[in-house]
């Protein structure tokens, strides 16, 4: 096999893995959009907030330390303990559920029956609020997130490909973990929505509020449930992205990468979010590899958006979308 | 409970009608300054087919929405099974055993007929979120048991051949039938039908009439239905409430109501003053 092709294969494979990371973020959007027709602008910030909280718990940071110190003149900073990763993750998941309850109580409940654009605006507000809250609670410095996920080159892949093609592929262990986690997440979410009682209720609410009420479904419970799940998905995305590039406030911008994924896959399809992510991840790497050198490189910055634009022109509902989205 | 609640009556065709299941006492409903319902009282007995009729805009649908919890009346009391019902949300009313259909059909268009009807069983399913995740077997068993009930209803309403069809693709008459099936799936004590025959052709109307009678006969379900087509209702129901301009102008058997001069006025279009 020619070197060129091998390099392309490696780039494509890495692209697939990167795509999984995009899919993780896109998944959170799809869940909320499906269940309530809300385009949740704050999904990226949810991931950031989850990652910040996770690191904070793990390192025994005192929440609101700076604020408390300023008001009371104390000098708090750290509880002086470190929590095991599993405990910190469970605690953070609990915080995300609490957040879902609060969002429903303080925001959504008061906006029932409002136009989707109003709800969209509310989530923009929520995004900035959460960003500020994360800042006040845990500080603005860049943190490293380490929950013990393997990182660095995967030796097995390298040696296998080396013996097969005479060239060892570089695949990051973290990307492999992310792929497995994403697969598990999608399978369990699909099982949940297709076969569980709450999943059926969730699909019912997504379809018709009145009818859902008439068969005894509590809308508020479903909304809390769906925001909790979205919060959990955000936590997973936050862990993966945080482990990859550190927990910093630009993490919330991963939401922007999820947008083209959604346009490709469709706003209402869970498998669509995954496939869309994979196509964009692999597409942008291969495009950079083959076309990039001809036009001066740095195509990864815009390739996804151009692809999304093309989709908007020719297939606005995305690959797996149920119908043309008239709401966003 | 008063003595009235314990007795009942026998219909001309020999069906036994039981004690009072639901009682509306002096219900008044306002939207801002507009009165949709003014001081209306009536009761619904167990096993009965009770109709609420009246010209368009009489407040029939508002009344049904009060019963099903979608509207909360400003005045009056709602009694169900001998207990006064406090202000409730629609999903709580549904859990009490009151199922309904809608005038403009509210189905889950993206789901299959079967899934739509299965949502009707939600109030009957016990397994919680966590137990479903942990004890998958229990949830599965419950699902199977519920499926059997649903299949029975599907057979009953003769919609076997469209079980897997997404509801959005069905013609109007069948959608109405699926909606009825979903309401029946909850095994309700009281079934509310909001203009079940609206927009149907003669043949579909006859089918629907037959199904309503069969449901009442077979399952003993108490049915309260709204219609503005008087002919259909008179053949179907045991007792009829007549509304006009938000007030009750008649209440009794179809024959009594037919002879009521106020009702004749309302329907024959004698000028209101």
A218 backbone dihedrals φ, ψ, rounded to 5°: -85, 115
Evaluate whether B15 touches B188 at the Cβ level (below 8 Å). Answer: no
Chain A: closest CA distance from residue B70 (Å): 9
Each residue's pLDDT tens digit, A135-174: 999 988 888 888 888 888 888 888 888 888 888 888 889 9
Provide mean pLDDT across the span A103-107. Answer: 94
The residue whose two tokens read 């973290």 is: A174
Each residue's pLDDT tens digit, A253-276: 888 888 899 989 888 888 888 999
Domains of chain B: 1-97+190-273 (3.40.50.300), 112-187 (no CATH)
Residue among B109, B143, B186 whose CB faces A215 most closely = B186
Residue A114: per-residue pLDDT: 82
Confidence of residue B2 (pLDDT cuts 50, 70, 90): very low
Nearest to B107 by CA among B183, B174, B167, B192: B167
CA-CA distances (angstroms) from residue B270 to A22, B57, B273? 69, 16, 9
Chain A: closest CA distance from residue B182 (Å): 8
The residue whose two tokens read 């109307």 is: B205
Min mean pLDDT across A203-207, B105-109, B149-153 is at A203-207
B65 vs A contacts (CB less than 8 Å): none
A198 vs B contacts (CB less than 8 Å): 129, 132
Nearest to B163 by CA among B178, B173, B176: B178
- What's the residue count for chain B? 273
Distance (Å, rounded) from C-alpha A259 to C-alpha A256? 5
Distance (Å, rounded) from C-alpha B119 to C-alpha B104? 19
Residue among B92, B102, B125 whose CB faces A210 most closely = B102
ipTM rounded to 2 decimals: 0.83
Nearest to A262 by CA among A308, A313, A314, A193: A308
SS (H, E, C) A58-120: HCCECCCHHHHHHHHCCCCCECCCCCCHHHHHHHHHHHHHHHHHHHHHHCHHHHCCCCHHHHH
CATH of domain A3-314: 1.10.3470
Residue among A210, A215, A219 whose CB faces B119 most closely = A215
Contact B132 A211 (CB under 8 A): no
- pTM here is 0.82
Provide the token pair at A267.
């706003």
Each residue's pLDDT tens digit, B205-249: 889 999 999 999 988 999 999 987 777 888 899 999 999 999 999
Contact A201 B125 (CB under 8 A): no
A216 vs B contacts (CB less than 8 Å): 91-92, 94-95, 122-123, 186
Domain ranges in chain A are 3-314
Residue among B89, B122, B182 whose CB faces A200 most closely = B122
């Amino acid at each position: 096999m020619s070197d060129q092709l091998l390099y392309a294969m490696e780039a494509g494979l890495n692209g697939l893995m990167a795509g999984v990371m995009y899919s993780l973020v896109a998944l959170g959007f799809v869940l909320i959009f499906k269940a309530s027709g809300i385009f949740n602008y704050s999904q990226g910030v949810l991931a950031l907030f989850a990652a910040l909280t996770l690191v904070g718990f793990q390192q025994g940071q005192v929440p609101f330390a700076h604020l408390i110190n300023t008001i009371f003149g104390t000098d708090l900073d750290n509880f002086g303990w470190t929590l095991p990763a599993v405990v910190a993750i469970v605690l953070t998941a609990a915080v995300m559920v609490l957040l879902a309850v609060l969002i429903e109580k303080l925001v959504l409940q008061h906006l029932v029956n409002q136009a989707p654009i109003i709800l969209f605006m509310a989530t923009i507000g929520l995004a900035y609020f959460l960003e500020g809250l994360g800042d006040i609670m845990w500080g603005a410095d860049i943190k490293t997130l380490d929950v013990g996920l393997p990182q660095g080159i995967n030796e097995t892949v390298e040696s296998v490909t080396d013996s097969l093609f005479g060239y060892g592929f570089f695949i990051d262990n973290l990307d492999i973990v992310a792929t497995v986690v994403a697969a598990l997440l999608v399978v369990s979410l699909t099982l949940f929505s297709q076969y569980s009682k709450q999943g059926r209720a969730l699909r019912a609410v997504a379809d018709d509020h009145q009818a859902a009420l008439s068969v005894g479904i509590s809308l508020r419970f479903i909304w809390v449930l769906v925001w909790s799940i979205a919060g959990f998905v955000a936590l997973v995305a936050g862990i993966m992205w945080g482990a990859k590039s550190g927990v910093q406030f630009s993490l919330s911008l991963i939401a922007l990468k999820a947008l083209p994924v959604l346009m490709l896959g469709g706003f209402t399809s869970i498998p669509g979010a995954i496939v869309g992510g994979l196509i964009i991840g692999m597409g942008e790497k291969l495009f950079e590899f083959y076309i990039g050198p001809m036009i001066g490189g740095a195509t990864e910055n815009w390739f996804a958006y151009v692809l999304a634009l093309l989709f908007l022109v020719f297939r606005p509902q995305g690959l797996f979308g149920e119908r043309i989205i008239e709401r966003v | 409970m008063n003595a009235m609640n314990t007795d009942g009556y026998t219909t001309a065709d020999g069906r036994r009608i039981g004690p009072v299941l639901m009682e509306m006492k002096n219900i008044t409903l306002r939207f801002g300054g507009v009165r949709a319902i003014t001081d209306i009282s009536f009761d619904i007995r167990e096993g009965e087919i009770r109709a609420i009729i009246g010209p368009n805009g009489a407040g029939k649908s508002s009344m049904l929405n009060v019963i099903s919890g979608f509207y909360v009346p400003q005045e009056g009391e709602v009694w169900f099974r001998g207990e006064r019902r406090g202000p409730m949300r629609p999903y709580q009313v549904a859990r009490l055993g009151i199922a309904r259909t809608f005038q403009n059909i509210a189905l889950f268009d993206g789901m299959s007929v079967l899934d739509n009807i299965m949502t009707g069983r939600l109030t009957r399913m016990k397994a919680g979120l966590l137990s479903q995740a942990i004890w998958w077997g229990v949830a599965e068993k419950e699902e199977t048991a519920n499926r059997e009930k649903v299949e029975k209803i599907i057979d009953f309403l003769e919609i076997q051949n469209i079980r897997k069809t997404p509801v959005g693709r069905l013609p109007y008459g069948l959608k109405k039938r699926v909606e009825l099936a979903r309401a029946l799936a909850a095994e309700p004590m009281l079934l509310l039908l909001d203009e079940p025959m609206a927009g149907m052709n003669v043949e579909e109307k006859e089918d629907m009439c037959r199904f309503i009678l069969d449901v009442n006969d077979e399952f003993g379900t108490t049915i309260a239905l709204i219609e503005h087509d008087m002919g259909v209702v008179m053949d179907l129901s045991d007792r009829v409430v007549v509304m006009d301009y938000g007030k009750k102008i008649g209440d009794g058997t179809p024959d009594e109501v037919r002879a009521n001069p106020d009702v004749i006025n309302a329907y024959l279009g004698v000028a209101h003053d």
